[in-house]
Amino acid sequence: MVPLSFADQEFFLTDSGALFWPRENALLVADLHLEKASFYAQHGQMLPPYDSRETLERLALAIRETGARRVFTLGDNFHDAGGAERLEPHAAGMLAALTRATDWVWITGNHDAPKPGERAGTPAGGTIAEELEVAGMILRHQAMPGEIRPEFSGHYHPRLQITVRQRRIRRPCAVVSCDAAGSGRMILPAFGALTGGMNAADPAILSAMQPAHTIHALLPAGGRLVKFALWEAGNPTHP
């Protein structure tokens, strides 16, 4: 867990991709995608059915390590709207215990919305919101282009892709933008056990973070925060 400054406040980024907010005693996580394996199994692609257990175990550990009393999930909590109803008893019990032990808020994402004719399941415990403003910070699922307020979001599953000593490295990362006035926005890495990722320098991510003066990828490594430049206004070497 490493400290980072964002929007004039101190936060801690965990190795698992959760963000701890000491001022609010809150843990932020994005894109749990619970029950992704069971969703694929319904369509004939068999995966080990324990992704929800693994994700919830990692989340419980992050809560214990930080001492967080509040949890905000930033959307795509389940892989589909019926995921909550497919939780096997052990994972359902884990989730119920976590939502009882904390002030838990589910912010909804595109995967959580039911398709036409589909009924949405209800997660065990907690409250549900489309987006929130907490202590001046906007919490939503997908970064809104043009947003000038401090913002936390998910959706894109950013991963840093670099080559070091002829080795290709892909690591989940946070993406942080800073505008000319010093205000910032952050996309958190996906927290779920079965989530893939998008190149942090992908044009879709860079576009979503505008207006910006700089955009960086951040990840914890070796007990410190590592920062990689992704984009800078007026710099032709950055996409």
Q: 22-26, 85-89, 217-221: which has the minimum mean pLDDT?
A: 85-89
pLDDT value at position 31? Answer: 93
Q: Per-residue pLDDT tens for 39-56?
A: 555 565 555 567 888 999
Q: Are residues 13 and 23 in contact, defined by beta-carbon separation less than 8 angstroms? A: no
Q: What is the percent of the chain with per-residue pLDDT over 70, rounded to a whole number?
A: 84
Q: Per-residue pLDDT tens for 120-154?
A: 556 778 899 999 999 999 999 999 999 999 999 99
Q: DSSP label at 121?
A: P
Q: Per-residue pLDDT tens for 178-219?
A: 986 667 999 999 998 778 889 999 999 999 999 999 999 999
Structure tokens at 100: 């009882």
Q: Mean pLDDT for the chain?
A: 86
**pLDDT average, residue stretch 91-119:** 82
DSSP string for residues in 148-206 = -S-EEE-SS-EEEEEEETTEEEEEE-EEEEE-TTS-EEEEPPB-STT---EETT-HHHH
Nearest to 126 by CA among 96, 99, 101: 99
Is pLDDT of 88 > 80?
yes
pLDDT value at position 47? Answer: 58
Supply the pTM of this predicted model.
Answer: 0.89
Prior bond of 211 cis (ω within 30°): yes
pLDDT value at position 161? Answer: 82
